[in-house]
Amino acid sequence: MSTHVIGGSPARLGGLDRVTGGQQYVADIHLADVLHAKLVTLDCARARIISIDTSAALQVPGVRLVMTAADLPQPVPRFGPQFEDRPVLAVGETKYHGEPVAAVAADSKDAAEQAAALVKVEYEELPAVFTIAAALDPAAPLVQDPALRLDDPLARTNVLREHHFGWGDVDAVAASADLVVEGTWTFPMVTHFAIEPHAFMAAPDGDGIAVWSSIQHPNWLQKTLAKILGLPLSKVRVFAPDPGGGFGGKQHVKLEPLVAFMALRASRPVRLVLTLEETFQTVRRNSTEVHVRSGFRADGTLVFRDIESNYLLGAYADIADRTVTKGSYAAVGPYRAPAARVVARSILSHTTPSTAFRGFGNPQPIWAVESTMDEAARALGIDPLELRLRNLARRGEEIIPGDTPADGDWAQTARKAAELVGWGTPLAAGRGRGIAFGIKSGPTTGLSYSTVRLLADGSVIVYAGTSDMGQGARTVFAQIAAQELGAPLDWITVVMGDTAVVPYDQQTSASRSTVLMGNSVLAACRAVQAKVRAMAARVHRVDEALIAVEAGLVRLPDRVLPIVDVLGPGLGRLGGEIIGNGEMRKDAEPGHPLGGSAAFYEFNCTAVEAEVDQGTGDIVLVRYVTVSDVGKALNPAQVRSQDEGAAIQGLGHTLMEHYIYDERGRIRNLGAIDYRIPTSMDLPLEFISETVENADGPGPYGSKGMSEGALLCVAPAVAAAVRDATGVVIRDLPLTPERVWQALQERSNT
Amino acid sequence: MHTFAYARPTTLAEAVALLDAHGSDARLLAGGTDLVIRLRDGSARPAMVIDVKRVAELRPAIREDSGRITISATTVMTDVVADERMRRHFPALVEAAAVVGSVQIRNRATLAGNVCNASPAADTAPPLLVYGATIVAKGAGGTRRIPLDEFFVRSGVTTLGPGELVTAIELPVPRRRMGATHVRRTRRRGHDLASVTLCCAVDEAGVTRLAYGSVGPRPLLRIDESGVLADPFAPADARTAVLEQMLADASPSPRSMRAGPAYRLAMLRVLGTRALATAIERLGEGE
Amino acid sequence: MTDTIATQPIEVTVNGRQRLLDVAVHHTLLDVLRDDLALTGTKECCLVGECGACTVIVDGRSVDSCLVLAVEADGAEITTVEGLAVDGTLSALQQAFLDTGAVQCGFCIPGQLLSGTALLAESPHPTVAEIHEGLAGNLCRCGGYQQITEAVLAAAESADRAAAGAADR
């Protein structure tokens, strides 16, 4: 029995099912009498709904139900994690291209599709806003009904919230800066494009309801549905099968309430699986315009940062304003900054509702801020790595007054990345190098319960409400249990995704699960160990104080036994099991701008060597290095997967991804043909990911959370390399060949 | 997807008869990589789909006969790429066929279907034009041969008459030594639709053929018989002038999502210049 | 006003088992595999032949099953992810995917496995570039391309070792 599983890379739990086709995603779950649902949407962004005629649709054989807002409780329930602004179905008005106005449920997918096409909606297209400038225009139509936020002075604008952070006196110290670098950087609208489209299913369940969803936060969903349906939590059972990719796009409630109402109305299970096109209309990342002024002394010391960020949200807030808060709060970067001012706005628009997306509001300001570091380095004649290192916070130094200080040896991470990319070594002609640093705050509050059951034969069941959407949480928790209780890994079952069985977990986000749920599982295992210790004392008639239980072993004064050898005699003829519960709580800190200080930081350094084809604008990533400070890699293979995966996802928005809207706010490039994401052929020619592990994290065995860090710095590192190779500065993403070529043309023309 | 009648004729006569009977209510199905997408999005709503893959006379085949290579209508891209004669005689067409979509697409998409779909961005169109391809079409009235340059009209439209189907594509084995290449511009290195697609060939007699697509309603073929382009020692401005003439009819759509017109026009020149150099180099290697 | 769904009988061999089915003419092979045969291992995502999540092997060639009408597959031999393991023993490629950590969320994995299987059958010793190109039609949003490539290489090597071992006897 191996107790050295921490730091090993055992086969992923759930891997076998995934390679044999046995893994059941929501769309694969068979319910005998399920009805198939299809959404009815309009071919425009914002429209006043005049009438909906369902008569033709209802004539289609096999159609059981056509639901519109009129069929829902009145007033139509609204929900949302930050504002309860989103109606279950559009009420009187659609606010974005793809907002559902009706839904059909039928015996077959064909019937549902046919019927949905026969629902006749009479509508009048209305003026709408799709850009920051349009939304901020004083004459702009309002996206949100001011009545929804009566006490808010901003209610008669499209600014949902304006956030202010900062310290020191920027205007006072600005004069002492020898150099001020200033500019505006834009970040495009991009979508998550999980390969599993969102899927939802609901079925009446006795006097309650059962819901299946690809949701990342099953307990949030349970709470929201209970409120909307007027049911006690105990009567709302949420099944959350492992999502086929989440990346934040499946964090919060989307269409589950609609499907739930349909199931209750039809008295039958109803399933809705979105098409890929519909997912583009359902979730995206905030796009931004970030204006940064960074002031430096001649020796490169950072004097101040003055940031103004406009984030363009969609028509409903979802959790998108929180991303603005979190991203802006840490926008100054992992540096010592004597003075800082950050103003960040969440601006509503008649577009796809934005939501959480890996990086959670940080990649956008980092794109701008790190670009100013690069520009400052060039202007001052200081090496870009050196400039950053000079300002980089050392372990224990505050980067944001009053918040968690720097919690790692970040310089070590940066130097490792620099070395791996060959920073400072001679470059072949036509090539350039770029480097960028980034941090993201981990969870600021959280609550994870878990239960561990040590069964009579030494096998273990772990209950943990985390969502395993590919990051491998299931495996990590099993590794912890294996390490602590001595069970072989394949004797451990991890149960997730069932609110009737698994205790409460607040959410799976902010790279929190290894730290929060991991510590909870660890605590549960320790609770089991304590009971084993008491059992051993009884069985061996030894004082408990003389016994230690750790790493799967019972250490008695005269010998060492594996835990399983104590269980048999300990449980006796009646049998039984040993149950331990764990709780990991990070309480809110009253008065804290984020609600709480960061549990940890994800720090990443990305360094890139690139070649630019000056004729076509193509960027070739010759060597790409990403290094993250992870504390302790409990499962190195999974850590590597996460870092490489995050980098590749970042290459998407850096090089090729963006929504294309028409003048009427309709998305032109819905679907996979004209929205490009990286393929295997888009890998950097040489792609290196490494970690720094100093066991200095708050998670089990010194781990920190990770999986978002490697996405933060992709764009600024690549753009810096392009600049180094060609001299062109580009401040807009994505860096398509056309955009790079245009910048090269402009450079030659000046 | 709307339903339709599905027919699977086993002889050419049967296929022609079905097409003749149903006219524009029928669509032909070969690889399906274009049609099935249209059936799904509703842009095609035929009453009948005629699957030609089991028609005996149209079975996948590449035949060589009297200085001519004939590629049957159901021959897929994968087979075009793998065929030794295609690689030897028409390397630029092989280069193009090798980048049509992914492996999965190439295992189904037919060369004939790619041509009949008549996308201006079809990657196989420029090399087929350069190599002088002829479309063999059969209808109730008999068989006719259509030079490919007279086949394309605009996006989705060819000069095939009602009731006609393509049975094969013929390519004359080049009688002169040639150097040729296919190049294109895409948004990523992974499979993509082209924003410019171009083929250039130079032969030992100094004739340069340039065909390009995705910069106007149909792919265009231009031929320079002056010898200026093929001559690496000709003055640069003379060569540029000739090249400009050959590219003058490009008219990229301003509405394209893939790339803007200015970029496409510029890339035509960049790719054209590079392809010309490669073609000359390959011609030289053949000596 | 409503379409009567036309159906047609087809005969297909799926994972070695002959099946006689009555399929709707407009249903794709993907629809039939998932809905009629309850083989849900093959996944639905883009439905336009771009993402490869629906990849299966038909008569020895990898194809996007979302672009094949089920009726076209009449008489064909089809392999889906459920057919890769033999008598409960994973194929070398399936095992390699587990060993190299190529699996993250898993949704693209069946398609990757089918493309990888087809590639190795065609080119038993692929280079990294050939693997990238061979699997470019299988999108992985989790970004596991590097480990997926390593898995294909590892499977190729283990096939070499197995062949060498067999030859030694």
Q: Tell me which chain C residues have a C-beta less than 8 angstroms from the C-beta of B102.
A: 49, 52, 136-138
Distance (Å) from the C-alpha of residue B192 to the closest C-alpha of chain A? 8
Cross-strand pairs, B221: B211
Beta carbons within 8 Å of A46's beta carbon, 6+ residues apart: A93, A94, A95, A96, A125, A126, A127, A128, A141, A350, A665
Nearest to A236 by CA among A217, A212, A272: A212
Q: Residue B63 is inside which H or E element, if any?
A: strand B62-65
pTM of the model: 0.97
Q: Tell me what pLDDT residue C60 has.
A: 98
Q: Tell me which chain A residues have a C-beta less than 8 angstroms from the C-beta of C127.
A: none
Q: Tens of pLDDT along A205-236?
A: 999 999 999 999 999 999 999 999 999 999 99
Q: How far apart are the first and last CA of chain A?
A: 70
CA separation for the pair A470, A493 (Å, rounded): 17
Nearest to B191 among A110, A679, A738 (CB): A679
Q: Tell me what pLDDT residue A750 has.
A: 66
Q: Tell me what pLDDT residue A3 has.
A: 40
Nearest to B104 among C26, C55, C74 (CB): C55
Say which CATH architecture domain B5-51 belongs to.
Answer: 2-Layer Sandwich (3.30)
Residues of chain C with CATH 3.10.20.30: 7-82
Q: How far apart are the first and last CA of chain C?
A: 69
CATH class of the domain defined by C92-163: mainly alpha
Q: Tell me which chain B residues have a C-beta less than 8 angstroms from the C-beta of A616.
A: 185, 267, 270-271
Whole-number mean pLDDT of chain B?
96
Nearest to A482 by CA among A461, A503, A464: A461
Nearest to A678 among B185, B188, B274 (CB): B188
CA separation for the pair B144, B142 (Å, rounded): 7
Q: How would you class A366 by CB atoms within 10 Å of its CB: exposed for 0-12, middle for 13-18, buried for 19 or more?
A: buried
CA separation for the pair A213, A219 (Å, rounded): 12
Is C7-82 CATH 3.10.20.30?
yes
Give contacts of B 56-95 with C, CB under 8 A. 78
Q: Tens of pLDDT along C88-137?
A: 999 999 999 999 999 999 999 999 999 999 999 999 999 999 999 999 99
Beta carbons within 8 Å of A361's beta carbon, 6+ residues apart: A286, A311, A322, A323, A324, A325, A326, A327, A328
Distance (Å) from the C-alpha of residue A164 to the closest C-alpha of chain C? 34
Query: H helices within A343-448, ranges in order?
Result: 363-380, 384-391, 410-421
Given a contact cutoff of 8 angstroms between Cβ atoms, the answer to whether C145 and A683 are in contact is yes
Q: Tell me what pLDDT residue C161 has.
A: 86
Give contacts of A 589-618 with B, CB under 8 A. 615-616
Cross-chain residue pair C62–B101, CB shorter than 8 Å: no
Instruction: Match 């067409």 to its residue by tokens.
Output: B93
Q: Tell me which chain A residues have a C-beta less than 8 angstroms from the C-beta of C133.
A: 680-681
| Beta-strand relationship, A35-40 and A270-273 | parallel
Q: Tens of pLDDT along A672-727?
A: 999 999 999 999 999 999 999 999 999 999 999 999 999 999 999 999 999 999 99
**C2, pLDDT greater than 60:** no
Is B58-172 CATH 3.30.465.10?
yes
Beta carbons within 8 Å of B153's beta carbon, 6+ residues apart: B118, B159, B217, B218
**C163, pLDDT greater than 90:** no
Give contacts of C 20-79 with A, CB under 8 A. 24, 34-35, 38-48, 50-51, 53
What is the SS3 assignment for A45? coil
Cross-chain residue pair C62–B103, CB shorter than 8 Å: yes
Cross-chain residue pair B259–A738, CB shorter than 8 Å: yes
Q: What is the mean pLDDT of residues C3-13?
A: 86
A681 close contact with B: CB closer than 8 A: yes
Distance (Å) from the C-alpha of residue B271 to the closest C-alpha of chain A? 9
Q: Which residues of A489-526 are buried (b: 16+ CB within 10 A; e: fewer)?
A: bebbbbebbbbeebbbbbbbbbbbbbbbbbbbbbbbbe
Q: Tell me what pLDDT residue A2 has.
A: 43
Question: C138 to chain A: nearest residue by CA?
Answer: A679
Say which CATH architecture domain B178-285 belongs to.
Answer: 2-Layer Sandwich (3.30)
| Domain ranges, ordered by start, for chain B | 5-51, 58-172, 178-285
Nearest to B190 among A616, A682, A738 (CB): A682
Q: Tens of pLDDT along C21-54?
A: 999 999 999 999 999 999 999 999 999 999 999 9
User: Cα angle vertex A255, ends A249, A258, to 5°?
Assistant: 170
Q: How would you class A590 by CB atoms within 10 Å of its CB: exposed for 0-12, middle for 13-18, buried for 19 or more?
A: exposed
C113 close contact with A: CB closer than 8 A: yes
Q: Tell me which chain C residues have a C-beta less than 8 angstroms from the C-beta of A638.
A: 101
In whole angstroms, what separates CA C26 from the centre of its chain?
22
B263 close contact with A: CB closer than 8 A: yes
Q: Phi then psi for A472, rounded to 5 degrees?
A: 90, 25
Q: Do domains B58-172 and B178-285 have the same CATH topology?
A: no
Cross-chain residue pair C80–A21, CB shorter than 8 Å: yes
| Beta-strand relationship, B26-29 and B5-7 | unpaired
Q: Tell me what pLDDT residue A1 has.
A: 37
Q: Tell me which chain B residues have a C-beta less than 8 angstroms from the C-beta of A662.
A: none
Sorted by where each starts, the structural domains of chain A and their CATH numbers stand as: 15-22+446-586 (3.30.365.10), 31-126+196-244+249-280 (3.90.1170.50), 287-443+592-749 (3.30.365.10)
Kindly provide the ipTM of the predicted complex, given to two decimals: 0.97
Q: Tens of pLDDT along A281-334?
A: 999 999 999 999 999 999 999 999 999 999 999 999 999 999 999 999 999 999
CA separation for the pair A486, B90 (Å, rounded): 65
Instruction: Match 């001299």 to its residue by tokens.
Output: A727
Q: How would you class C120 by CB atoms within 10 Å of its CB: exposed for 0-12, middle for 13-18, buried for 19 or more?
A: buried
Q: Tell me which chain A residues have a C-beta less than 8 angstroms from the C-beta of B263.
A: 737-738, 741-742
Q: Tens of pLDDT along A93-116?
A: 999 999 999 999 999 999 999 999
Model confidence at C6, in pLDDT bands (50, 70, 90)? confident
Neighbours of chain B (3+ CB pairs under 8 A): A, C
Nearest to A436 by CA among A392, A403, A478: A392
Q: In what order do the strands lie in the sheet with A553-555?
A: A548-550, A553-555, A560-562
Distance (Å) from the C-alpha of residue B210 to the closest C-alpha of chain A? 19
Q: Tens of pLDDT along A533-581?
A: 999 999 999 999 999 999 999 999 999 999 999 999 999 999 999 999 9
What is the SS3 assignment for C57? strand
Distance (Å) from the C-alpha of residue A18 to the closest C-alpha of chain B? 21
Cross-chain residue pair C63–B4, CB shorter than 8 Å: no
C103 close contact with A: CB closer than 8 A: yes
Model confidence at A457, in pLDDT bands (50, 70, 90)? very high
Q: Tell me what pLDDT residue C128 has.
A: 98
Residues of chain C with CATH 1.10.150.120: 92-163
What percent of chain A is predicted at pLDDT more than 90? 98
Model confidence at C1, in pLDDT bands (50, 70, 90)? very low
Cross-strand pairs, A200: A213, A272
B104 close contact with C: CB closer than 8 A: yes
Low-confidence stretches of chain B (pLDDT beneath 70):
287
Cross-chain residue pair B263–A742, CB shorter than 8 Å: yes
Q: Which residues of C touch B (CB under 8 A)?
A: 3-6, 8, 24-28, 47-49, 52, 55, 61-64, 66-69, 71-72, 74, 115, 118-119, 133-138
